[in-house]
Amino acid sequence: MSNSYIPERAMFIYAHPDDIEFGVAGTAALWAKHGCEVTYVIVTDGNIGSHDKSLTGEQLAAIRHAEQRAAADIVGVQRVLFLGYHDGLTEPSLAMRKHFVKLIRQYKPNVVVSGDPRSVFVEDSYINHPDHRAVATAVVDAVFPASEMRLQYQEFEEEGIFAHKINYLYISYGPDANLFIDISEVIDLKIEALKCHAPSQFPEWDPTEMVKQWSGEAGKRIGVKYAEAFRRFVLHEVE
């Protein structure tokens, strides 16, 4: 099933700077190009994500913020919110759920995009990062039912922030994808956005071929050159 739906507003919530670029920045680029107001929420500072002994965690966080902003600018994202959680130490806590609910109510996305909370072992060679699972779990719990329940976190009303119903939740990396988005027209933007993270993450490596290979495999599923795969949940269908 392909889908040309462009939401009015979308919020991408991921654990680390570079998670979006490795996975779903093509969809962000496509939507932004066609008029969607896209918000990136980056939960941790990525402040342990380096083996460079000359850097402190604070210095690394500053570098990674700058890389993430540059990546977001390339795809035309409206805003990037850094929540400042410590890299590697996230939990799907009630506090995190509340934090996400507040942002969802504030920015009113039609679509929330995040990772797959069920993903622990990926094929035979990759253990999904605990931050990815923690954030994805808290996102799912924030999306439904918390964000739309008026009486939960009613204190936000004092700040003019009210309950909000999300239309769709898109989960990336799921083995049971039911939606493939054609990103062929923005594949170059996806590659350029990922390259913004090269200085701190992969200074010696050009990700072009890998992005083309992954996106090409998803593309085959719907007969296009490049695509991104999602499991889409319908919460409140757009009329």
Q: How far, in Å, are 59, 143, 190, 227, 228 from residue 223 at the CA level? A: 44, 32, 19, 9, 12
Smallest separation (angstroms) from Zn ion to the CB of 18: 6
Nearer to Zn ion, 19 or 182 (CB): 19
Distance in angstroms (rounded) separating the CA atoms of residues 218 and 221: 5
Distance in angstroms (rounded) separating the CA atoms of residues 63 and 122: 29
Nearer to Zn ion, 48 or 66 (CB): 48
Cβ–Cβ contacts within 10 Å for residue 106, how many? 17
Smallest separation (angstroms) from Zn ion to the CB of 135: 9
**Size of site (CB under 5 A) for Zn ion:** 2
* Cis before 92 (ω within 30): no
Nearer to Zn ion, 92 or 219 (CB): 92
Cβ–Cβ contacts within 10 Å for residue 83, how many? 17
Nearer to Zn ion, 36 or 139 (CB): 139
Contacts of Zn ion in 16-55 (CB under 5 A)? 16, 19
Does position 133 bind Zn ion by CB under 5 A?
no
Smallest separation (angstroms) from Zn ion to the CB of 46: 8
Smallest separation (angstroms) from Zn ion to the CB of 118: 16
Query: Would you tell me which residues interact with Zn ion (CB under 5 A)?
Result: 16, 19
